Amino acid sequence: MVLYRRNRVAGGTYFFTVTLRDRSSDVLVRHVGLLRSAFRRARTERPFTIDAIVILPDHLHAIWTLPDGDVDYSGRWRAIKSHFTRDLRLSGMPLTPDNRGEYRLWQRRFWEHTIRDDTDFQRHVDYIHWNPVKHGLTQCVADWPYSSFHKYVCHGLLSAEWATAVNEDQSAYGELA
């Protein structure tokens, strides 16, 4: 097994990909209210800023900024996953624990990237907002309801027509290096 060392920058800004174990599941959008509640509780317990987010059926992407001096994004993800899993069980969703006592809802790990500068931040925000189109869930970014795109439009940071121009080079919103 490869030893993966996470980068930790106190008060840093990070891009994350967090995935369900069952990549054919739609539980994140089917129970988006419970997921939002899990985020709210985790942020109440240990604050952080959500700079951008998109929730897809089986995974989500987010950019967070942690408070000054804080590096514990792993603990926050653990709390979000735990709150969401607990709430799903309480709602009656049948989840059974494995031999370690863990519910097999989430992949055990997550992918993290430390945002390096404003250009890197913008590329990742664009990637997040374009992701529902990339996965064929919608043909227009504005049509996906589970995205911070709408907040960006509301605050005047993006136009409602962002990434809809016929001749626009939409490959710019593809895979990140």
pLDDT digits (tens, 9 = 90+) for 90-105: 998 888 777 787 788 9
CA distance 62 to 15: 6
Strand partners, 55: 60
pLDDT band of 167, cuts 50, 70, 90:
very low
pLDDT band of 7, cuts 50, 70, 90:
confident
pLDDT band of 14, cuts 50, 70, 90:
very high
Domain ranges of the chain: 13-173
Q: Which of 64, 39, 62, 38 is nearest to 49 (CA)?
A: 64
Q: Choose between 157 and 164: higher pLDDT.
A: 157
What's the pLDDT at 99? 78
- Average model confidence (pLDDT) for the chain? 89
Q: Which of 90, 83, 85 is nearest to 42 (CA)?
A: 83
Over 70: is that where the pLDDT of 165 sits?
Answer: no
What's the pLDDT at 170? 52
Q: Evaluate whether 68 touches 47 at the Cβ level (below 8 Å).
A: no
Q: Evaluate whether 56 touches 97 at the Cβ level (below 8 Å).
A: no
> Where in the sequence numbering do the catalytic residues fall?
146
What's the pLDDT at 9? 81
Over 60: is that where the pLDDT of 3 sits?
Answer: no
CA distance 9 to 132: 29
Q: Provide the strand spans (E) within 11-170.
A: 13-19, 49-55, 59-65, 111-114
Query: In this structure, which topology does domain 13-173 adopt according to CATH?
Result: Alpha-Beta Plaits (3.30.70)
What's the pLDDT at 119? 96
pLDDT band of 172, cuts 50, 70, 90:
low
